[in-house]
A and B are shown apart, each in its own frame.
Chain A
Amino acid sequence: MSLRGKAAVKSPWILHVNCGSCNGCDIEILAALTPRFDVERFGMLHMGNPKHADVLLVTGPANRRNAKVLKNLYEQTPEPKVVVAVGTCASTGGVFYNCPNVLGGIDEVIPVDVYIPGCAARPEAIIDGVILALKKLAKGAE
């Protein structure tokens, strides 16, 4: 792996976007960021700003209101980037599938690289999913 690829894998910065989820997956993501699971040992830092992010962690289904927001944030994130859909709602729409205003999973709006199923997804699964995404990130960096 080249230096750029290695650096991309060793320093993935995360942006956490809530697209209308029930907050269950959000709580699990926050739990993953706590000292108990210590994702900072992988170099992961939670950034509140898409311009600083490499990994977009999205929860909740895509709906007509936040489709624009999601697209906007996706475009403001510089390449190389990966999108990780956390939870069943983000993957397919979950319990909200086919509800009024719900477009489905977030892959209706932006391209997704890794799907993490679960309602809510467990922190261990989230970390696993992000690490899986990192391999794609490394390829994108080279």
Chain B
Amino acid sequence: MTEYFTSSLIILPLFLALISAFSYNRTLRYVLAYLTLTSLTVMSILTFIRAQGVIITLDYPSQVGLIITTLDMLLLLYFLYVGIKKRHVLVVILAFLQVIPLIHLETVIHEVRASPTFLIDPLSATMCLIICIIGSLIVVYSLSYMEEHEKHLHLKKTRQPRFLFFMILFLAAMNGVVISNNLYWLYFFWEVTTFCCYQLIRHDLTEQSEKNALLALWVGLIGGVAFIGSMYLGVYYVYSLSIAEILRAKASVYIPLTLALLSLAAFTKSAQIPFQSWLLGAMIAPTPVSALLHSSTMVKAGVYLILRMTPAMSNFPALSYCIAAVGGLSFLSASVLAINQRESKKVLAYSTISNLGLIILCAGINTPLALMAAMFLLIFHAISKGLLFLGAGVIENRVLTRNIEHWEGMLGKYPLSAMVMLLGMVMMYLPPFGMLIGKWLTIESASSLKAISIPLVLILSIGGATTTFFWSKWMGCMLTHPPALFELKPEKIPFSYKLSMLTMVGIDVALSIFAGLVAAIIDLALKVLRGEAPVPYSLLGIFTDMGSFLTIPLILSFLVAIVLALVIARLRGGSMAPPYLCGENVSRDPYSFISTVDKPVKFDVSNLYFDRSLGSPSVNKTLTLIGMILLAFMFSLVVI
């Protein structure tokens, strides 16, 4: 009976989404959002607890499969319709490339094994936790955000029901992706996420958003075609569409090709090089969309798929290292390009690509320690990046600009939101928080590969330094303020903002403090995945045979340092003085100095963006070319 309970992870949000489509009443929307939050949180926690040490399986009869097939066909026909209506050749071609083979596949599919339909192991359960909790917090956030957004756009009739429908539907689809073991069902849910992504990016119906939505659509459809390819291989060479069976199949020449095709799909979904442009274009969508789809959840589907494949990848080290190379290239290049971005959401987008590349790099390295690193990065990135997008959305709705140079001194103007963003940025790359622990684990695991380690550690060290660069730069810009204009006024923000953002901060901090416990839980998940015991854990920290990270002592000493610094500053204090401007300060205007003819002149402070080397459009084109060459190399490796 409890097994059927787990399919409610999909059915319940689907049901809530359908009601949301008609929720023109504001109270109804609030009720639905909070209902989503509570119900999904409870269900995912229950599932998680249930899945510790036990694999939950659920098998549906083939009649239910028929419903899925019908829905899938309808979806593909809709994509065809979109492509024809918007005259987008690629969408039409890619949709056809899926419809025709699928019709053929239908004729053979009932001869093929595909059970169990759903399989929840600790990896799926962890992903479920992230999707349900973080996802529904973002849905709650979107209530206030969309109200403010529509006020700015002066919309006469609210379009929030449509928005809410697609957001909650997306949660259902993501749950489906992570619990499906039937490759066809996974492919269907995958396409539903592409569909939601398309609808949500074009939500504002401007010309630019339509264009970017189509870009996201056809890149996603490439993944769909790759899935069809892998399904064919599964049907004809393993006689099974069960992912577990395909991964366990005898190492024949078709398995690496299947793995390569699935990784291709994963790369498109996670916006790795050469597929990075759709994510950058998707930033035009409203911020909750960016938070949910493009940082915390949908892009995680790609890395989830690669993590799922890691047991099979260990039989094909060349392919593994190719996947690691794609991840490493994305990590380094996105981290360097983020330095050049002035738009807040673009910086966050590049940082997302970079961190996803890091996770894929770890998955490609495929040692137990590296997989532990990948899981750490996955969990903490989902929380921190979601938090950053939420904070960026709040500030953007108030200052009406995304240019980070104009976010100067935010700490004084909007203390709570700015503090949340600053905390989020600190949690992205500084000790003692979880992302840094993940980076530490990555470097330690990447060093253990003998000669292959050389390019890996070079990429990791340079990429890490450039990451520090662009985050510190942005943090500093937000902190810049003239003296005596810094009185922290209490900031009034809606409750849904406070709930979502502060809960996420709390989760991140708590998980970082108990990183040892997190490592233990991941340990269990990986055991089930590989049947091995990676890392001894204790609550005090993470201990490997190469080194140790003492999380609790480090956090305690950081806490003592912060308190001590605050106490010293409080005790000694100091009187406010204007900054040094060669004696030419203007008395009541901290933004000017007295220049020639005794006239006050405004001065600007601005940051480094390296426009000359990083700003030209040929950089992106070169990157895409390198990515395509790398993919071509990877496929030629598996085919030969």
Q: Chain B residues with Cβ under 8 A from A49's Cβ?
A: 580
Contact between chains at B577 and A76 (CB < 8 Å): yes
Contact between chains at B584 and A51 (CB < 8 Å): no
Contact between chains at B583 and A51 (CB < 8 Å): no
Annotate B569-588 by CB proximity to A: 1 below 8 A, 0 otherwise: 00000000110101111000
Q: Chain A residues with Cβ under 8 A from B598's Cβ?
A: 65
Annotate A38-58 by CB proximity to B: 1 below 8 A, 0 otherwise: 000000000001110000000
Contact between chains at B578 and A76 (CB < 8 Å): yes
A69 to chain B, nearest CB (A): 4
**How many angstroms from the CA of A76 to the CA of B598 in the assembled complex?**
20
Contact between chains at B584 and A50 (CB < 8 Å): no
**How many angstroms from the CA of A70 to the CA of B583 in the assembled complex?**
7
**How many angstroms from the CA of A103 to the CA of B584 in the assembled complex?**
19
Q: Chain A residues with Cβ under 8 A from B582's Cβ?
A: 69
Interface residues of A in 65-85 (CB under 8 A from B): 65-66, 68-70, 72-73, 75-76
Interface residues of A in 117-137 (CB under 8 A from B): none
**How many angstroms from the CA of A72 to the CA of B586 in the assembled complex?**
10
**How many angstroms from the CA of A50 to the CA of B581 in the assembled complex?**
10
Annotate A5-21 by CB proximity to B: 1 below 8 A, 0 otherwise: 00000000000000000
**How many angstroms from the CA of A66 to the CA of B598 in the assembled complex?**
11
Interface residues of B in 556-607 (CB under 8 A from A): 577-578, 580, 582-585, 594, 598
Q: Chain A residues with Cβ under 8 A from B583's Cβ?
A: 50, 66, 68-70, 72-73, 76
**How many angstroms from the CA of A73 to the CA of B584 in the assembled complex?**
9
**How many angstroms from the CA of A50 to the CA of B584 in the assembled complex?**
13
Interface size class for chain A?
10 to 19
Q: Chain B residues with Cβ under 8 A from A51's Cβ?
A: 577, 580
Q: Which residue of A lies closest to B584 (CB)?
A: A69
Q: Chain B residues with Cβ under 8 A from A50's Cβ?
A: 580, 583
**How many angstroms from the CA of A84 to the CA of B585 in the assembled complex?**
23
Contact between chains at B584 and A75 (CB < 8 Å): no
Contact between chains at A76 and B580 (CB < 8 Å): yes
**How many angstroms from the CA of A75 to the CA of B582 in the assembled complex?**
12
**How many angstroms from the CA of A142 to the CA of B2 in the assembled complex?**
78
Q: Chain B residues with Cβ under 8 A from A69's Cβ?
A: 582-584
B575 to chain A, nearest CB (A): 9
Q: Chain B residues with Cβ under 8 A from A76's Cβ?
A: 577-578, 580, 583
Annotate B495-529 by CB proximity to A: 1 below 8 A, 0 otherwise: 00000000000000000000000000000000000
Q: Chain B residues with Cβ under 8 A from A72's Cβ?
A: 578, 583-585
Q: Which residue of B lies closest to A52 (CB)?
A: B580
**How many angstroms from the CA of A129 to the CA of B598 in the assembled complex?**
34
Interface residues of A in 60-119 (CB under 8 A from B): 65-66, 68-70, 72-73, 75-76
Q: Chain A residues with Cβ under 8 A from B594's Cβ?
A: 68
A32 to chain B, nearest CB (A): 23
B590 to chain A, nearest CB (A): 13
**How many angstroms from the CA of A68 to the CA of B600 in the assembled complex?**
14
**How many angstroms from the CA of A66 to the CA of B577 in the assembled complex?**
19
Q: Which residue of A lies closest to B577 (CB)?
A: A76
A111 to chain B, nearest CB (A): 17
Most interface-central of A51, A65, A72 (chain B CB within 10 A): A72
Q: Which residue of A lies closest to B580 (CB)?
A: A49
Q: Which residue of B lies closest to A71 (CB)?
A: B583
**How many angstroms from the CA of A72 to the CA of B577 in the assembled complex?**
10
Q: Chain A residues with Cβ under 8 A from B578's Cβ?
A: 72, 76
A68 to chain B, nearest CB (A): 8
Contact between chains at B577 and A75 (CB < 8 Å): yes
Q: Which residue of A lies closest to B582 (CB)?
A: A69
Q: Which residue of B lies closest to A49 (CB)?
A: B580
B576 to chain A, nearest CB (A): 11
**How many angstroms from the CA of A73 to the CA of B585 in the assembled complex?**
10
B405 to chain A, nearest CB (A): 26
Q: Which residue of A lies closest to B578 (CB)?
A: A76
Q: Chain B residues with Cβ under 8 A from A65's Cβ?
A: 598
Q: Chain B residues with Cβ under 8 A from A68's Cβ?
A: 583, 594
**How many angstroms from the CA of A69 to the CA of B598 in the assembled complex?**
12
**How many angstroms from the CA of A70 to the CA of B582 in the assembled complex?**
10
Annotate B413-456 by CB proximity to A: 1 below 8 A, 0 otherwise: 00000000000000000000000000000000000000000000
B514 to chain A, nearest CB (A): 43
**How many angstroms from the CA of A70 to the CA of B584 in the assembled complex?**
9
B629 to chain A, nearest CB (A): 52
Annotate B30-48 by CB proximity to A: 1 below 8 A, 0 otherwise: 0000000000000000000
**How many angstroms from the CA of A70 to the CA of B585 in the assembled complex?**
11
Q: Chain A residues with Cβ under 8 A from B580's Cβ?
A: 49-51, 76
A131 to chain B, nearest CB (A): 27
Most interface-central of B578, B580, B583, B584 (chain A CB within 10 A): B583
**How many angstroms from the CA of A78 to the CA of B594 in the assembled complex?**
23
**How many angstroms from the CA of A66 to the CA of B594 in the assembled complex?**
11
Q: Which residue of B lies closest to A50 (CB)?
A: B580
B49 to chain A, nearest CB (A): 58
Q: Which residue of B lies closest to A66 (CB)?
A: B583
A-B contact pairs, 8 of them (CB 8 A): A65-B598, A66-B583, A68-B594, A69-B583, A69-B584, A73-B583, A76-B580, A76-B583
Considering the complex of A and B, which 8 residue pairs feature the smallest CB-CB distances, nearest first? A69-B583, A72-B583, A73-B583, A76-B577, A49-B580, A72-B585, A51-B580, A69-B584
Q: Which residues of B approach A to under 8 Å, CB–CB?
A: 577-578, 580, 582-585, 594, 598
Given A68-B583, A73-B583, A76-B578: 11 more A-B contacts, CB < 8 Å: A49-B580, A50-B583, A51-B577, A51-B580, A69-B582, A69-B583, A69-B584, A70-B583, A72-B584, A72-B585, A76-B580
